[in-house]
Structure 1
Amino acid sequence: MSHVTPALYTTLAEIVPELHVQCLDPWCLIGSAAALLAGADVGVADVDVLTSREDAERLMASWSERREHVYEPAGAERFRSHFARFRFPGMPVEVMGGLELNRGDGWKPVQAGRLTLVGLNGLAVPVPSIEDQIRILESFGREKDHQRATLLRKLSGSPLRIVP
Structure 2
Amino acid sequence: MSHIPPALFVALAELVPDLHVHCVEPWCLIGSAAARLLGAEVTVADIDVLASPADADALAMLWADRRDAAHAPADGDRFRSHFARFRFPGMPVEVMGGLELNAGEGWQAVSPGRLVLAGLQGMAVPVPSLDDQIRIFESFGRDKDLTRAAALRRLHQPSALSITSSS
TM-score class, shorter:
over 0.9
**How far did 1:156 drift?**
3.1
Classify the secondary structure of the residue corresponding to 2:119: strand
Q: Tell me how many residue pairs correspond in the alignment.
A: 158
CA deviation map 1:99-133 (0-9, x unaligned): 00001110000000000001100110000000000
Q: Is 2:39 the partner of 1:32?
A: no
Structure 2 Cα separation of the partners of residues 94 and 3 of structure 1? 22
1:33-48 equivalences in 2 (<5 Å): 33-48=33-48
Structure 2 Cα separation of the partners of residues 36 and 8 of structure 1? 10
Structure 1 Cα separation of the partners of residues 156 and 12 of structure 2? 24
Classify the secondary structure of the residue corresponding to 2:155: coil
CA deviation map 1:28-77 (0-9, x unaligned): 00000000001100110000000000000010000000000110010001
Structure 1 unaligned residues grouped into runs of 5+ = 159-164
Structure 2 Cα separation of the partners of residues 156 and 22 of structure 1? 34
Structure 2 Cα separation of the partners of residues 105 and 8 of structure 1? 35
Structure 2 Cα separation of the partners of residues 108 and 156 of structure 1? 28
Structure 1 Cα separation of the partners of residues 42 and 88 of structure 2? 21
Aligned to 1:70: 70
Aligned to 2:13: 13
Structure 2 Cα separation of the partners of residues 78 and 107 of structure 1? 8
Alignment RMSD: 1.1
**How far did 1:25 drift?**
0.7
Aligned to 2:127: 127
Given the two structures, how large is their TM-score scaled by the length of structure 1?
0.94
Structure with the greater alpha carbon radius of gyration: 2
Classify the secondary structure of the residue corresponding to 2:4: coil
Q: Which amino acid aligns with 1:114?
A: R
Aligned to 2:52: 52
